[in-house]
Structure 1
Amino acid sequence: MQVSLIGLSVFAITLIVAYYSRGMLIIGLVASLAFGSTAMMTLTSLGGSSPLIYTLFAALLVMAVTARRRIWLDLGNVFGSIRPIWVLSALMAYAIVGAWFLPRFFAGQTSVFVQSRTRMSVVEASLAPVSANISQTGYFILGGLTAIALCALLLHTNRIDQIRRGFFLWCGLHTTMGLVDFLGKSSGAGDLLAPIRTANYAIITGAEEAGFTRIAGAYSEASAFGGVSLACLAFCYTYWRKTRSRLAQWLALTLLVLIVLSTSSTAYVGLAILSIPVAFSIARSLISGRIGSDEILIMTLLACGLAAALGIAVVNAGFFDPFIRLIEATIINKSTSSSGLERTYWNVKSLQAFVDTSGLGIGFGSSRASSWPIAVLSQLGLFGAIMMAILLGVIFRGLGRYSARVDLETDAVATSVKNCALASIVSGSLVSGTADPGIVFFVALAVISATRVRARSTGNATRPLLEQRGARRRQGSWDVAMQRS
């Protein structure tokens, strides 16, 4: 095991900031996601796996909840009131058993893609137990335990404000480091964030695409930065639409600019997918005649941008040629490039492995795909994929009808976290090679599940009461006006 002093220093600084933000473990856990290539150590016994600093925050959160004197009562409340937690627990057990049993039972019966220690690249090999069976399953189990621990805390005390501050700190750090990376490379200063890239990953931060410098932020490559930027943009945009927060508005605009400049095909395709529900929402508002000021702002900005682009094209016909080459390289010709063909082949072989194992799967971490749904299907099999789909359905449903039973802030935070998790799933569906949906998925599962339970238990909640009081005040004002008349 090799310890990274820089990684430990970043962890300590994040812990101190989270402590003074009055939510050390929850805020620290979410904020630490901004450091996507900062590891505290490298585990040579597990094939060089290097846990990022968020894993220590997650482990501390789980241990803190476990050490509570009322732990059994908390667990009873969680399992007694949140049915999806039973599905999550069954999926965790299935992942552990499958990671050990399946690659041994089906050894040599199909081919998979694994990380080669000697060649430092992904190679095709016959199915066999690998170190990733332990490391990736461990990350997944840690995420599941984090969701259970968060449910216990959120059911006991309303900590939605800590969730909000944690996500804003994460988005702020991610945006800031993206700007630092972009300005450093654009000014010729190089990779200013190189000292904090301590993870044992393939670091691809100095690459260019069609003459444009690729933005990686605090991550190992532009694709990872683009995927996380989509998740942060979804959170900030949703929170802005719900609350008209100026902070969320400016973060969303800055993240949108960074996504455009990132040269990441994942970010571009993901942004196009996420724009579809936004376009439908605006169209529905136009048809119903209930368009809001924020939607007018969005359409105005789009119109101004289009008019500016047309004006520039008229004055200088070749101005957009570099951007056209960028779009061609990252989107249009991406599927026919060597990397695109390679990743397509990974997905084809992963689906073949699912067929070769009669739908049982090859075990968590046994192979690498290039799409999260395909990785889930090939590694967890049909049974595991069904359980994962159930959990994804819980997040997609969100608060549902219970949104009317919680206060506006809780509704805004829960909906923003939900959309953040769904955006991360969209980006993962484009490039992710593992069946692990990521820690944001588990945080969103806990926030939504616990909030629904609290809304059910409170019965008449804050928003209906406020509406009733407002109605009584309006009725009283009407009565006074009638008496005066």
Structure 2
Amino acid sequence: MGLIFWPLSFLFFFRKDPQRLLELTLIGGVLQAAAVLVMGGLGLQPAMAPGMLFIAFMGLQLMLGVKFPAAGRVLKFCTPLLIAFFWALAGSILLPRLFEGVVLVWPQKLDEVATRVPLAPTRGNMTQDCYLVLDLVMFIMTIFFLTRREADPRRLYNAYLVGAGLACVVGFWEMAHRLVGSIPFPKELLYSNPGWAVLDTQMSGPVPRINATFTEPSACATFLIGTLYSTVWCALRGYGNWATRVMIFLCTLCLLMTTSTTGYVAMIIGLALLIVYAILSRERRLFRRLMMFIAGGVLCMGVTTLALAAFAPDVIKAAAEVMLETQDKKQSASYEERTQKDADSYQLAFDTYGLGTGWGSDRSSSLLPGFLATIGVVGVLMLVFWNGSLFLKIYRTIKGAAGERSLDSWMIEATFTALLGRTVATLISGPVLGTMDFYVLLAMLVSALIRLQTRARKQVRA
């Protein structure tokens, strides 16, 4: 994988093309189980190669005196988030020493120690801090670049869809390999990161569970849920084209093949959110399109079920077994283990008086207990304040630009729904939101908001 990503990254770097570096970062974000550089037991994910060169390119521009007019507004806009990041960094240094040996935590590398250990400063604190700093710098630098005229956010969103399409194609390929053993599958290329435990042999009844380019089926479902939220919303709002509709079909099919409870629950939550929004907003066009979308989905499922029942009854029987196993997952040992980790993480927040154990000290099964156990109540409140202010700015900006079908409006809605989908799935079953492509999407959202606000102010002055 390094022979693919490093040459491309250096090529775009020396051609002075930061736009291509960002696009390559979004595409590489789906290859989470691969590595472009291996250092002992640590593997560098593919998105890191173009991401770090993009940071280097932007850093050189700043050193050479290139001006970014919106830099001040960007830093002011992101101040609550920056404070939360610095709180996490300070806590990773101080809190493991403050509560050393007082509480028990789940380590980052569960394959080394399959039980809780006494809290102490570890290498996990340093590695997670490095990822955090890298993501933060990438986030800020991407906003700086996207507020310039030569940036094209439409191409970035298309690169995000290309990455999702790549994950779906690999997922179908993996399913064919699992069902027909004679079809080769490049595991050494796609699952080359020694820092991750790749669970690529799981079964759900008689049906193989697919990972695609991810470490486990739930990670694949988490990514696809974000793409599904975004593409469905764009199609309902009239932003999408034929590629968007194709991605809806591919993501839904690939998501079903993961047999991930996380993905299924997140799909139901997304549908419920759509219906509630359509009712509260009183947008007749949106409500009509949503009803047509639901009716079309039900019709397709009905026709497919009848066809399979007539020509391939074994598939119906296998699907029924998968659904029964999905319903019984609450009684499985893995579910009890994940529940126990979350309960222990919640308890850590109380045992440390709401301060947490420090970033990188504890690894939970879900996002919220992981945040409470590491950055504490203070850090979570900072993130809640940042997200609340971000939602409010999105609402005011979109409301102020009502009726305006601009590129920035499209980017705000497309990236917001993509981030919402991934966050919902991670809240259900996911320890972190630390991938670099996530922060590139967040930067696309913030930069589009800043551009729309700047345009609105100029119109008011005029």
Range of TM-score over shorter length: 0.7 to 0.9
**342-351 or 219-228, which moves further after superposition?**
219-228
- AA in 2 matched with 1:198: S
Asked if the contact 2:167–2:212 (Cα under 8 Å) also holds between the matched residues in 1, the reply is yes
2-structure distance, mates of 1:78, 1:302: 48
1:71/1:303 Cα in 2 relative to 1: closer, same or farther (>3 Å)? farther
Which secondary structure does the structure 2 equivalent of 1:50 belong to? strand
Asked if the contact 1:239–1:413 (Cα under 8 Å) also holds between the matched residues in 2, the reply is no
Structure 2 residue runs without a partner (length 5+): none
Asked if the contact 2:128–2:359 (Cα under 8 Å) also holds between the matched residues in 1, the reply is yes
Deviations 1:92-129 (A, max 9, x none): 22122111111111011111111458x53542111111
Shift of 1:239: 2.6
The corresponding residue for 2:396 is 401
1:142/1:39 Cα in 2 relative to 1: closer, same or farther (>3 Å)? same
1:126/1:327 Cα in 2 relative to 1: closer, same or farther (>3 Å)? same
| Mapping 1:71-82, distance limit 5 Å | 74=67, 77-82=70-75
The corresponding residue for 1:93 is 86
| Mapping 1:131-142, distance limit 5 Å | 131-142=123-134
1:235 aligns with 2:230: yes
Which structure ranks higher in relative contact order (CA pairs < 8 Å, sequence separation ≥ 6)? 2
1:456/1:73 Cα in 2 relative to 1: closer, same or farther (>3 Å)? farther
Which secondary structure does the structure 2 equivalent of 1:156 belong to? coil
1-structure distance, mates of 2:16, 2:437: 23
Which secondary structure does the structure 2 equivalent of 1:442 belong to? helix
2-structure distance, mates of 1:62, 1:82: 17
The corresponding residue for 1:125 is 117
- AA in 2 matched with 1:107: E
Shift of 1:431: 2.1
Asked if the contact 1:414–1:448 (Cα under 8 Å) also holds between the matched residues in 2, the reply is yes
1:452/1:125 Cα in 2 relative to 1: closer, same or farther (>3 Å)? same
| Mapping 1:104-123, distance limit 5 Å | 104-116=97-109, 120=112, 122-123=114-115
- AA in 2 matched with 1:34: V
Shift of 1:424: 1.0
2-structure distance, mates of 1:269, 1:72: 49
Asked if the contact 2:229–2:417 (Cα under 8 Å) also holds between the matched residues in 1, the reply is yes
Q: Which has the larger radius of gyration?
A: 1
Deviations 1:274-331 (A, max 9, x none): 221233356679995875457424413313423654787799998644323212322x
Shift of 1:253: 0.7
| Mapping 1:142-181, distance limit 5 Å | 142-157=134-149, 158-181=151-174
| Mapping 1:405-416, distance limit 5 Å | 405=401, 407-416=405-414
2-structure distance, mates of 1:16, 1:427: 36
Asked if the contact 1:209–1:263 (Cα under 8 Å) also holds between the matched residues in 2, the reply is yes
Counterpart among 41, 44, 52 of residue 59 in structure 1: 52
The corresponding residue for 2:276 is 280
Asked if the contact 2:129–2:359 (Cα under 8 Å) also holds between the matched residues in 1, the reply is yes
- TM-score w.r.t. length of structure 2: 0.87
1-structure distance, mates of 2:262, 2:69: 41
Which secondary structure does the structure 2 equivalent of 1:23 belong to? helix
1:445 aligns with 2:438: no
Asked if the contact 1:399–1:451 (Cα under 8 Å) also holds between the matched residues in 2, the reply is no
Which secondary structure does the structure 1 equivalent of 2:107 belong to? strand
2-structure distance, mates of 1:102, 1:81: 30
| Mapping 1:240-259, distance limit 5 Å | 240-241=235-236, 242-259=238-255
1-structure distance, mates of 2:346, 2:428: 15
Shift of 1:150: 1.2
Asked if the contact 1:193–1:217 (Cα under 8 Å) also holds between the matched residues in 2, the reply is no
1:21/1:195 Cα in 2 relative to 1: closer, same or farther (>3 Å)? farther
**302-311 or 134-143, which moves further after superposition?**
302-311
**106-115 or 280-289, which moves further after superposition?**
280-289
Asked if the contact 1:82–1:449 (Cα under 8 Å) also holds between the matched residues in 2, the reply is no
2-structure distance, mates of 1:270, 1:312: 26
Counterpart among 202, 215, 224 of residue 197 in structure 2: 202
Which secondary structure does the structure 2 equivalent of 1:358 belong to? coil
The corresponding residue for 1:306 is 302
Asked if the contact 2:411–2:445 (Cα under 8 Å) also holds between the matched residues in 1, the reply is no
The corresponding residue for 1:471 is none
- AA in 2 matched with 1:414: I
The corresponding residue for 2:454 is 457
1:41/1:317 Cα in 2 relative to 1: closer, same or farther (>3 Å)? closer
The aligned length equals 452
1:342/1:320 Cα in 2 relative to 1: closer, same or farther (>3 Å)? same
Counterpart among 177, 188, 196 of residue 181 in structure 2: 188
Asked if the contact 1:115–1:121 (Cα under 8 Å) also holds between the matched residues in 2, the reply is no
Shift of 1:135: 1.1
Shift of 1:189: 3.4
The corresponding residue for 1:482 is none
The corresponding residue for 2:216 is 221
2-structure distance, mates of 1:351, 1:428: 16
1-structure distance, mates of 2:202, 2:353: 41
- AA in 1 matched with 2:86: A
Tell me the C-alpha RMSD between the 2 structures: 3.2
Deviations 1:139-188 (A, max 9, x none): 12211111110111122224322322321222222222222222222222
- AA in 1 matched with 2:202: A
The corresponding residue for 2:426 is 428
The corresponding residue for 1:417 is 415
2-structure distance, mates of 1:337, 1:95: 34
Counterpart among 249, 264, 268 of residue 264 in structure 2: 268
Asked if the contact 1:151–1:449 (Cα under 8 Å) also holds between the matched residues in 2, the reply is yes
1-structure distance, mates of 2:10, 2:161: 16
Which secondary structure does the structure 2 equivalent of 1:205 belong to? coil
1:391/1:49 Cα in 2 relative to 1: closer, same or farther (>3 Å)? farther
2-structure distance, mates of 1:193, 1:396: 42
- TM-score w.r.t. length of structure 1: 0.83
2-structure distance, mates of 1:145, 1:129: 24
